[in-house]
């Protein structure tokens, strides 16, 4: 019969403790943000009264909490067990807010699993490639032959035919011309590339995962770079990538040509070729009222804001640009209208913000 009144006393006591705590916390926070009464006698008196008010009589706790419970003891008694506390750690990845290097978006795995076509006309045939040859009419023959280390395929009654170094689009004419020297008429010839040779290529320099990567001879340089994790955006160059064979550079790749103009020169890889990503060149940052907010890399001495605006593509309402640049320990800021800024030079480390002023010919200060 005494259990129900006892539970009411417990609830009332806890409610009084919680009310007193809330009032104390709210008062303290309000004083803090208003800056009133810190270190004064009035404040000390208020704190003394609050301390005396937070002692709560909890006789009904039957030994679980002392007869005169402090605020912390009352809170502990009313709180959930520690294992019931909700874990507020977010399982999400933080969003990157720093400026991204232009070109970094290329390497997200799209090229790493894509093999180049062996049937494009510009592909250059290499030793190890498989070539299919069919002959019909007065002489019949059909076979798939592997290009030997000397670069030849061997045709019965015709002999070796050199096809290494021949572009795929010219393969038919090369084989037909060789056969026609023996069979002048009544023999048809068809030759096609069946399969390109698998190769392994070194990818090194400033990439995320340098290594020795397999692919096809017709795979693009983008495929091999993507397999190596892509260019390191903090240290590597997107505009100076070299393809070397036996120590000699055969091709230099500028990925900005691909990103901005869709240009990527074809290359036939061989075993042991080396792709080297050079160190990062000079950079500038552009942000604000532009479609391409990135850090860009450059390696010319006559870059201007006009060039920057061409690649960053300002919004229709953009009117001005501000430039912040470092000169030793000092920083300088310049402000131009877009028309005035066309020939202003850009230097390594410059930061440009394109803005849209509400009133032409004026600048706003905050």
| Mean of pLDDT values over 350-366 | 72
Q: What does the pLDDT look like over 146-192, one tens digit per residue?
A: 999 999 999 999 999 999 989 888 999 999 999 999 998 889 999 99
- Are 225 and 241 within 8 A, CB to CB? yes
Own/partner long-range contacts of 334-337 (Cβ < 8 Å, ≥24 apart): 335/363, 336/305
Judged against a pLDDT cut of 70, whether residue 34 lies above it is answered with no
Task: Tell me if 130-195 shares its fold with 282-355.
Answer: no
Q: Which residue has the tokens 């090229």?
A: 111
Query: Which run of H or E residues covers position 125?
Result: none
Rounded CA separation 193/130 (Å): 6
Banded model confidence at residue 336, pLDDT cuts 50, 70, 90: very high
Judged against a pLDDT cut of 90, whether residue 134 lies above it is answered with yes
Assigned architecture for domain 282-355: Roll (3.10)
Which of helix, strand or coil describes residue 168?
helix
Q: Which of 236, 246, 247, 238 is nearest to 210 (CA)?
A: 236
Residue of 214 and 266 predicted with greater confidence: 214
Number of residues written out for the chain: 366
Quote the tokens at residue 318.
């953009």
pTM, two decimal places: 0.60
CATH for the stretch 130-195: 3.30.1950.10
Q: Domain ranges in the chain?
A: 3-84, 130-195, 198-279, 282-355
> In degrees, to the nearest 5, what angle opens at C-alpha 73 toward C-alphas 70 and 75?
110
**3-34 and 41-53 helices, crossing angle to 10°:** 160
Q: DSSP states of 38-105 as a string? A: TTSHHHHHHHHHHHHHT-EE-GGGTTSS-SEE-HHHHHHHHSPPGGGSPP----SPPPP-SPPBTTGG
Quote the tokens at residue 200.
């392994």
Rounded CA separation 97/198 (Å): 41
- Tell me the percentage of the chain whose pLDDT exceeds 70: 69
Assigned architecture for domain 198-279: Roll (3.10)
């Amino acid at each position: 019969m005494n259990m129900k009144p006892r539970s009411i006393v417990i609830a009332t006591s806890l409610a009084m403790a919680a009310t007193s705590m809330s009032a104390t916390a709210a008062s303290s926070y309000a004083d803090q943000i208003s800056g009133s009464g810190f270190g004064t006698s009035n404040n000390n008196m208020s704190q003394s009264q609050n301390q005396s008010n937070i002692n709560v009589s909890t006789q009904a706790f039957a030994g679980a909490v002392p007869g005169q419970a402090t605020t912390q003891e009352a809170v502990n008694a009313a709180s959930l067990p520690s294992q019931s506390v909700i874990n507020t750690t977010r399982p999400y990845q933080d969003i990157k807010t720093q400026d991204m290097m232009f070109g970094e978006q290329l390497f997200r795995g799209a090229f790493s699993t894509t093999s180049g076509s062996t049937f494009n006309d510009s592909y250059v045939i290499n030793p190890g490639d498989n070539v299919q040859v069919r002959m019909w009419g007065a002489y019949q023959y059909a076979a798939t032959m592997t290009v030997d280390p000397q670069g030849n395929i061997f045709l019965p009654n015709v002999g070796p035919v050199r096809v290494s170094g021949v572009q795929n689009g010219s393969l038919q004419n090369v084989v037909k011309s060789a056969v026609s020297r023996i069979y002048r008429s009544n023999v048809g010839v068809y030759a096609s590339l069946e399969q390109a040779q698998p190769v392994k290529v070194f990818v090194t320099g400033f990439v995320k995962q340098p290594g020795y990567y397999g692919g096809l001879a017709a795979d693009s340089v983008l495929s091999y770079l993507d397999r190596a994790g892509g260019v390191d955006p903090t240290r590597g160059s997107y505009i100076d990538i070299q393809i070397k064979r036996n120590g000699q550079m055969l091709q230099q790749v500028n990925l900005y040509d691909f990103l901005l103009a869709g240009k990527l020169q074809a290359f036939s890889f061989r075993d042991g070729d080396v792709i080297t990503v050079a160190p990062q060149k000079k950079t500038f940052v552009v942000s604000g009222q532009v479609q391409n907010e990135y850090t860009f890399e450059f390696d010319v001495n006559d870059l201007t804001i006009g060039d920057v605006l061409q690649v960053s593509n300002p919004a229709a309402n953009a009117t001005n640009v501000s430039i912040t640049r470092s000169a030793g320990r000092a920083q300088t800021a310049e402000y131009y209208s877009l028309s005035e800024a066309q020939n202003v030079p850009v230097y390594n480390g410059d930061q440009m913000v394109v803005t849209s002023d509400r009133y032409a010919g004026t600048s706003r200060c905050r």
